Structure 1
């Protein structure tokens, strides 16, 4: 393996992992360009070392045919440790709260760029390039191709029951929001009745939950609105 080949593999690792890291950094995720590049380059270095060990073992076997029967080399031993060991870094990007889990995609991209690094380090360029394309498609365009409807619960607290319910019903109909279920309750605060409706809904593709919350919260009778994951 020449120095030129080593440099080429490391540069390719930087480029392909930088593309993935750039997408994560643009979305303000905890692991950005530098993290992804370092993981991929590290995996590439391990793969290069393993490849170099294998080449030297074969060269030694050719030079010493009488010892070739006792020489053993395993090209997967070091790289296997990368695949399992990089998991601790990905786990550090996952944040678990009472209502959501954040960072799973970033953890997956860290593991994926480690695999890309192994492919580059071992000299499997076509696998690395096609793998990068597959990862970028998954990150950038998959949601546009496949739309998965997600049910969520929206809790709306309001006063003036009839007027506000009419506004909410008209809004859901106008925005083509599918209401699966409604739960009702009433709270008394002094002489004021606070109505609490929990809607289980599905949004159309062209509307986000943040946009819906902003639209509904503008109404003067709505005192509180929040999303509750199903």
Structure 2
């Protein structure tokens, strides 16, 4: 069926709005991809979907609208890969890459005229990405303050202990508090949403590492 300019404008506009909602959330949390990136991904996906469905109808009667759209789903992976960064033992940017992939699907859905589904997925993605959801699940949080000798391999050994206690790297955040002439104070925050960890045993194991002055558990306020 032919499509008029009003319908095209509506689909492209909704793609901008839906992509912008997710992009706004990512922008607030200093994501590698921000508001404009998400709008452009969603808008471009929507245009490709419209082109795939209606752009070739005059040239062939056996057009397959899924063929061009399928290239968006696979091609967006290259853009998402550019947002994934490895920082020591942790990997950052996976959520951004996944949300870019979903936003491309939202744009395709808006371009195909599935307004309700694209709107619903936008809301669900926004809720999923919100920090309040993460805070709800990560209620069990332990903070350890470690004082170590400068220029030692203590950080690597400490991370190995966390792994041995089944605390995944993405659930560990590290913050340098103070660095004196021969001492470094580091604060570790451990987030364990679905299971309890033996904090006392972790502290005991860290204290056995060569170059560790002290380890203490900090009360979370």
Report the TM-score, using the length of structure 1 for normalisation.
0.63
Question: How far apart in 2 are the matches of 1:77 and 1:124?
Answer: 18
Question: How far apart in 2 are the matches of 1:18 and 1:76?
Answer: 25
Per the alignment, residue 111 of structure 1 pairs with: 101
1:45 to 44, 47, 52: 47
Q: Is the 8 A contact 2:57 2:63 kept in 1?
A: no
Indicate the structure (1 or 2) with the bigger Cα radius of gyration. 1
Q: Does 1:155 align with 2:146?
A: yes
Q: Is the 8 A contact 1:10 1:121 kept in 2?
A: yes
- Write the deviation string for residues 75-95 of structure 1: whole angstroms up to 9, x where unpaired: 211111100000110110111
How well do the aligned residues superpose, as a CA RMSD in angstroms?
Answer: 3.0
Per the alignment, residue 179 of structure 1 pairs with: 199
Per the alignment, residue 12 of structure 1 pairs with: 14
Question: How far apart in 2 are the matches of 1:139 and 1:119?
Answer: 20
1:123 to 113, 117, 124: 113
Q: Is the 8 A contact 1:185 1:197 kept in 2?
A: no
Q: Structure 1 residues 73-82 or 111-120, which shifts more? A: 73-82
Question: How far apart in 1 are the matches of 2:68 and 2:139?
Answer: 39
Q: CA deviation at 1:108?
A: 1.1
How many pairs align? 168
Relative distance call for 1:52 and 1:101 in structure 2 (3 A) is same
Q: CA deviation at 1:96?
A: 0.5
Question: How far apart in 2 are the matches of 1:2 and 1:100?
Answer: 49
Please, which runs of 5 or more residues in structure 1 have no aligned partner? 61-70, 159-176, 188-193, 208-230
Q: Is the 8 A contact 1:54 1:75 kept in 2?
A: no
Q: List aligned pairs for 1:178-197, cutoff 5 A.
A: 179-181=199-201, 182-183=204-205, 184-185=207-208, 195-197=212-214
Q: Is the 8 A contact 2:38 2:103 kept in 1?
A: yes
Q: List aligned pairs for 1:192-203, cutoff 5 A.
A: 195-197=212-214
Report the TM-score, using the length of structure 2 for normalisation.
0.66
Please, which runs of 5 or more residues in structure 2 have no aligned partner? 150-196
Relative distance call for 1:196 and 1:118 in structure 2 (3 A) is same
